[in-house]
Amino acid sequence: MHERTHVAVIGAGLAGLACARRLREAGNQVAVLEKSRGPGGRMTTARGPDWQADLGAQYFTARHPEFIAAVEDWRRQGVAALWDGRLVRLGIAGVTAVDDDRQRWVGGPRMSAVTRNLAQELDVLPETRITGIAGEPGGLRLQTAAGKEAGAFHAVVVAVPPAQAIPLLEPIAPEFAKRAAGVMMRPCWSVVVRLSGETPEFDAAFVEDDTLRWLARDGSKPGRKEASVWVAHAVGPFSEARLEDDAGVIGQEMAGRVQAMTGMAGGAEVLRCHRWRYSQCVAPLQDGYLLAPQQGLGVCGDWCHGSRVEDAWLSGHQLASALMDAGV
């Protein structure tokens, strides 16, 4: 890349932050533009006056050597830890223990600690929604929803879900927009519930149900304190059919299922109910990332690489290396 190349990264989820961090460590100027109030994306943690809960990603695994090294670095810094929760499967066959010897990692003391760590020393501009990309490499400009312009940039990285990437890509890279249009992301309703009653003999469960697919006692994760807060994720068909329903109604309905699945017969207080429009990638691309060096344009995200947290990080990290190798 050019000396002190100025790169814009649209999206401060894990992929965008991994890309920006790699570019920044190599000495490039990087601006990260995020439509939400802060970084994190699906690795966010919901918080209240006396509770917290991982609202999106529940844990992550590490298989690729580069990601294993990154996770070990996070562990040394105290922002990631192994979760040895008692994991089971819940279904018509009853309760079955999950014993797969898989290491499951979580952010510590909350999932968002990982993305907050990655965002350190980065120029992150929150509440900045990008609506367009124009110009030529070396002079790329971004239009914002507020009617302002940002730039000029040598290169631009689009690190948002495919549905949000399409309108940004169509005017400048229609072939990338077409690839993005072929990737489907399933929605997911997520609920945080405070339960009372006798705690079951498990901390998390893969659920076979027509409403829930996952539930976990957030307090079982390292660094957490609140033992009675549970998080549940809904199955794809339920989330798709009820996507536009009222969050209050969905929260109560899911809380009832959480009570039934855990057997905790006391009270159930819904603390947060959140609709993830772009939660799970059904059939991700196998490219890892998309790159048009001559246009100074890159695209990354889990949907370019796989469906796990690791895939999001790898997509962004490897795109940053490819950008530098291409001399963008």
Q: Look at residue 209 in the predicted model and tell me its pLDDT.
A: 95
Low-confidence ranges of the chain (pLDDT < 50): 1-2
Token duo for residue 295: 């246009």
Q: Is there a domain that residue 144 lies in?
A: yes
Domain of residue 256, CATH code? 3.90.660.10
For residues 44 and 13, is the Cβ–Cβ distance under 8 A? no
Q: Is there a domain that residue 1 lies in?
A: no
The number of distinct structural domains making up the chain is 2
Give the domain extent around 137.
6-43+115-183+285-325
Q: Is there a domain that residue 204 lies in?
A: yes
Same domain, 226 and 269: yes
Task: Cite the beta strand spans of 148-246 per DSSP E.
Answer: 149-153, 155-158, 185-195, 204-207, 212-217, 229-234
Q: Is there a domain that residue 209 lies in?
A: yes
pTM above 0.85, yes or no: yes
Q: Is there a domain that residue 27 lies in?
A: yes
Q: Look at residue 4 in the predicted model and tell me its pLDDT.
A: 59
Supply angle C-alpha 59, 183, 278, rounded to 5.
Answer: 45
pLDDT per residue as tens digits for the range 278-303: 999 999 999 999 999 999 999 999 99
SS3 294: helix
pLDDT per residue as tens digits for the range 178-206: 999 999 999 999 999 999 999 999 999 99
Same domain, 128 and 32: yes
Same domain, 78 and 172: no
For 31, residues 6+ apart whose C-beta sits below 8 A from its C-beta are 6, 7, 8, 9, 123, 125, 150, 153
Same domain, 60 and 15: no
